[in-house]
Amino acid sequence: MDGILSQEEISALLNDTGSENATQNTSLTDNEKDAIGEIANISMGTAATTLFSLVNRKVEISTPVVSLATWDDIVEAYERPCVFIRIAYTVGLDGNNLLILKENDVKIITDLMMGGDGTNTDGELGELHLSAICEAMNQMMGSAATSLSSMLNKTIDISPPHADLIDLQENVDEGTIDEFLKNPFVKISFKMEIGDLVNSTIMQLYPISFAKEMCASITQNMEQDAAANASVTPQPEVKPEPQPTPQPAPQQTMQSQPMMDQGMMGQAMQGQPMMGQPVQGQPMMGQPMMSQPMMGQPVNVQPAQFQPFMGDLSAAFQKENIDLIMDVPLEVTVELGRTSKSIQEILDFAPGTIIELNKIAGEPIDVLVNGKYVAKGEVVVIEESFGVRITEIIK
């Protein structure tokens, strides 16, 4: 009644304010989700290019899907043991993020990095695999941090990644992995394809506070750019000077023709040619001699005549100098015989298998030069080597 709030009313107001702040700190607006998705899309696109250079395979990462999740959601999404890779931001941003990869995907990536074909995935995941995937993520997230620096217009650096193999089917205390996993966090899902070897889903986990910090940095950067653009004084528009209108060319009329035309026409009536008309046997003014003839006028066409060639034709048909190619080496092959076998018969070959050829004992063998059949011969022994005695030249 006197305008003084009771202790119960003050506690109720404080509880309402606290619950409102807690709701804001544990949720994201649609604009914030869009901003985080754009950041992740650019960052992971750069990381995919880096991974391509490490595994020498085509790497495709789909558009990210941003949502809020809890630790129970992650346990339900992954059944097999997973590799958790923890990356902390040391400069520019204050926060951590986690990358989750499947165990088999890590084996394939590390095998490709070591020069394999990605099929050597037997055995357990050991320290060698974890060390190799940490190096890959160090380079991938390093390039992603460079892209993020350009977006936020400030220097961003990361710490060396740390990887652990975790079986989510066991009772795992999420706090031992990272403290922010105890509360709701931001989950960014990507579909990753590496050639025809990997077609899987990877996850990137952020604290909500870290995601809001990135969104605030982007908003601040956009406002600074807008203020910088607004401070630029616009230049006055320069109007082009009007061009003079061209005057039309004077038209010639029949009245401007001299009276001489009547006299010329009269001369033409008397058998004299008019100006511009050809006289018989002479070309028209401004045209060559062999222009189109007048209708009915005969054309004198004669075959072309050339002066006889008086040079020595024997020089054009001299024998080629074969001495120029005497040193060219040729491959000589001696073929004992041939046969054809099926794939099954070839697979049954073993030491001691006898292959029957199409040659009869004592029949001449074939001699080929650069694959061309040129002669026949017989096999002889020269000291400790085989030789061939030519018996017939094939023409």
Q: Which tokens go with 32?
A: 């914030």
Domain ranges of the chain: 19-222, 327-346+359-395
123's enclosing H/E stretch is: none
- Fold match flag (19-222 vs 327-346+359-395): no
Cα–Cα–Cα angle for 174, 212, 189, rounded to 5 degrees:
55
CATH of domain 327-346+359-395: 2.30.330.10
d(CA 231, CA 249): 53
**Residues of the chain falling short of pLDDT 70:** 1-26, 79, 231-297, 305-324
Nearest to 57 by CA among 129, 142, 118: 118
pLDDT of residue 277: 47
Question: 19-222 belongs to which CATH class?
Answer: alpha beta
Q: What are phi and psi of 136, to 5 degrees?
A: -65, -45
Given the structure tokens 């004198």, which residue do they identify? Answer: 300
130's enclosing H/E stretch is: helix 127-152
Question: 2 exposed, middle or buried (CB, 10 Å; 0-12, 13-18, 19+)?
Answer: exposed
pLDDT of residue 291: 46
Determine the length of the chain. 395
Nearest to 61 by CA among 74, 51, 69: 51
Full-model pTM: 0.51
pLDDT of residue 311: 54
